[in-house]
Amino acid sequence: MTSPVNPLSSHQYWESLRSQGFSLPQCQACKAFHFYLRPACPACLSLDIKAVQASGRGSVYSFSIVYRAPSAAFEKDVPYVVAIVATDEGPHLMTRLVKVKPENVAIGMRVVVNGWRTRDEPTERVSDGVAPPLFEPESS
């Protein structure tokens, strides 16, 4: 199932997250996935971009353990893990890893989308898909 992404606004993309779950922009001409939202495919420059439901799976490409909260909103969360996840579809996303002790995170660790964070509650509260997704370890 696909839905069109308006290159002038990301509203339709975030709406697709609500309706179809974790989605990534995909070029309909060359089938390449990409992220962040762009008006044209970075691989072939086609303007035919749609939000396509993705697997929600990937692996930890890089990570950092945050020990000092950047603001009062994060004080109760430290230490926590900020990571770059290489999705199985190809794009790399910056995210938070949840439901894992920071010392147990490793490069290459398999992860899956857990939900979305909100601006009001930056920790593990799941929202309705208006911010980048959170990832957690994939169960074996």
Per-residue model confidence (pLDDT) at position 21: 79
Assign 11 to helix, strand or coil.
Answer: helix
Same domain, 11 and 44: yes
Q: Which domain holds residue 46?
A: 2-53
Same domain, 75 and 133: yes
Whether the CB-CB separation of 98 and 65 falls below 8 Å is answered with: no
Same domain, 70 and 113: yes
Same domain, 69 and 15: no
Same domain, 61 and 48: no
The total number of structural domains that make up the chain: 2
Whether the CB-CB separation of 132 and 117 falls below 8 Å is answered with: yes
Whether the CB-CB separation of 133 and 112 falls below 8 Å is answered with: no
Look up the pTM and report it: 0.81
For the chain, which residues score pLDDT lower than 50? 1, 5-6, 8, 122-129
Q: DSSP strand E in 56-126: where?
A: 57-66, 80-87, 92-97, 110-116
Per-residue model confidence (pLDDT) at position 2: 53
Same domain, 100 and 65: yes
Which residues are within 8 A (CB) of 57 and not within 5 positions of it... i.e. 6 or more apart?
Answer: 87, 88, 110, 111, 112, 113, 138
Same domain, 129 and 71: yes
Whether the CB-CB separation of 88 and 80 falls below 8 Å is answered with: no
Whether the CB-CB separation of 113 and 127 falls below 8 Å is answered with: no
Whether the CB-CB separation of 113 and 56 falls below 8 Å is answered with: yes
Residue 108's DSSP bridge partners are none
Same domain, 106 and 45: no
Per-residue model confidence (pLDDT) at position 129: 47
Same domain, 43 and 69: no
Per-residue model confidence (pLDDT) at position 140: 58
